[in-house]
Amino acid sequence: METHNGKLPKPDPRKIAGQRAADTRWGRQTERATHQGTLNIAGTELDCYVLEDGRRIISQASIMSVLDRSQSTGRRTRNDNRPPFIEANNLTPYITTELSEVLERVDYRVGDAKTIRSGYNAEILPRVCNVYLDAEEDGVLTANQKPAAEASRRVIKALALVGITALVDEATGYQETRAKDELQRLLDAYIAEEFRPWIRTFPETFFKEIYRLQGWEFVPGNNHHPQYVGKFINKYIYEPMPTGVLDRLRGLNPRNEHGNRPRKHHQHLTSDVGVTHLERQISQVITLMQASDDRVQFDHLFERVNSRGLPVQQMLDI
């Protein structure tokens, strides 16, 4: 199974404006592809695209081709509610509700190209193949539909170990954009640009246990801690959060000329997602410290809990 991919060059805004004006004039609704590629499945190359809204599309012509259907019948959909590759009445009983919901044809342009193309959500491909295979099993296929059933068997076999969405993402190069978008959404959920007023977030017990593990004397009410405590918090509280959170916090709360940060990192966490995770992480670390006799034992417990993803209490019972 081979893929070739590429992100499209930035489209010409003037061309896009003209195309949108024409679409409005003619009452058309067209989408725009930002990534394109070719995907080889069962010996057939499929043209696939990712639209601006993230939908993965396979061209109508490619679906016709991989199903071994005549290209001439796929030039235009005779029935807007049914794609040409499963338009036959004898296939109707095998079209599931899930498939029906994603069968809408999508008209799109590639970049700023003038040509309008037609395609379908990539996720329909294995489901369409199942329509032919189910109809074949019941013996209702016509002679000219049987090649489509044989082709469907090859496609299902080729897709058995890999999801179609992942394949399209690889073929179009969209996986890099997707990863960036997902990271941005995650960081937006965790971090607020505007900082919250300071409130006590780390309980005194947290610092008391750090001091105990280090063999230091702890003075209740003391808010001035050694530099080591800050490094401890970064390592055991912030670093276990999703990748990128600590870096973003450092960017929003940089050190001044004296090497100090003007605020506490947690002031930039969102009150729902970010602070909730922070409080859960603090509670976990306190529990592990209290269960440890020294720093070495704590490190061992912390590593085991976080590497295996076990709840703290379950880990302590092992």
178 in a domain, yes or no? no
Banded model confidence at residue 75, pLDDT cuts 50, 70, 90: very low
Domain that includes residue 235, residue range: 191-317
181 in a domain, yes or no? no
Q: In this structure, are 261 and 217 located in the same domain?
A: yes
Percentage of residues of the chain with pLDDT beyond 90: 36
In sequence order, the 6+-apart residues with CB closer than 8 A to the CB of 101 are: none
Residue 161: per-residue pLDDT: 53
Q: In this structure, are 225 and 157 located in the same domain?
A: no
Burial classification of residue 244, based on how many CB atoms lie within 10 Å of its CB (0-12 exposed, 13-18 middle, 19 or more buried):
middle
Check: CB of residue 38 under 8 Å from CB of residue 172: no
Check: CB of residue 109 under 8 Å from CB of residue 116: yes
Of 138, 173, 208, the last residue of a domain is: 173
Whole-number Å distance between alpha carbons of 48 and 38: 6
Whole-number Å distance between alpha carbons of 128 and 65: 13
182 in a domain, yes or no? no
Instruction: Check residues 313 and 43 and name the one with the higher pLDDT.
Output: 43
Could you tell me the two tokens for 144? 């000219």
136 in a domain, yes or no? yes
Q: In this structure, are 145 and 268 located in the same domain?
A: no
Whole-number Å distance between alpha carbons of 90 and 70: 18
Q: In this structure, are 214 and 169 located in the same domain?
A: no
Instruction: Check residues 165 and 137 and name the one with the higher pLDDT.
Output: 137
For tokens 């080729």, the residue is 158
Whole-number Å distance between alpha carbons of 33 and 23: 16
Residue 308: per-residue pLDDT: 53
Burial classification of residue 270, based on how many CB atoms lie within 10 Å of its CB (0-12 exposed, 13-18 middle, 19 or more buried):
middle
User: For the chain, what is the domain count?
Assistant: 2
Residue 313: per-residue pLDDT: 40
Q: In this structure, are 157 and 245 located in the same domain?
A: no
Whether pTM > 0.75 for this model: the answer is no
Residue range 257-300, pLDDT digits in tens: 888 888 899 998 988 888 889 999 999 999 999 999 999 999 99
Three-state SS at 163: coil
Check: CB of residue 64 under 8 Å from CB of residue 74: yes
126 in a domain, yes or no? yes
Could you tell me the two tokens for 32? 């725009």
Q: In this structure, are 142 and 203 located in the same domain?
A: no
Whole-number Å distance between alpha carbons of 75 and 78: 9
231 in a domain, yes or no? yes
Q: In this structure, are 269 and 146 located in the same domain?
A: no
- 144: pLDDT strictly greater than 70: yes
278 in a domain, yes or no? yes
180 in a domain, yes or no? no
Q: What's the rounded mean pLDDT across residues 3-29?
A: 76
Residue 107: per-residue pLDDT: 92
Q: What's the rounded mean pLDDT across residues 210-228?
A: 91
Could you tell me the two tokens for 198? 């300071």
Of 173, 201, 234, the last residue of a domain is: 173
Residue 217: per-residue pLDDT: 93
Check: CB of residue 187 under 8 Å from CB of residue 248: yes
**Which of 10-19, 94-103, 197-206, 245-254 shows the lowest per-residue confidence on average (mean pLDDT)?**
10-19
Q: What's the rounded mean pLDDT across residues 119-142?
A: 92
Q: In this structure, are 81 and 209 located in the same domain?
A: no
Q: What's the rounded mean pLDDT across residues 165-176?
A: 73
Q: In this structure, are 33 and 168 located in the same domain?
A: yes
Of 147, 173, 199, the last residue of a domain is: 173
Angle at 238 between CA 235 and CA 240, to 5 degrees: 80
The amino acid present at 212, given as its one-letter code, is R
Residue 5: per-residue pLDDT: 53
Average pLDDT score over the chain: 83
Q: In this structure, are 162 and 197 located in the same domain?
A: no
Q: In this structure, are 150 and 277 located in the same domain?
A: no
Q: In this structure, are 24 and 158 located in the same domain?
A: yes
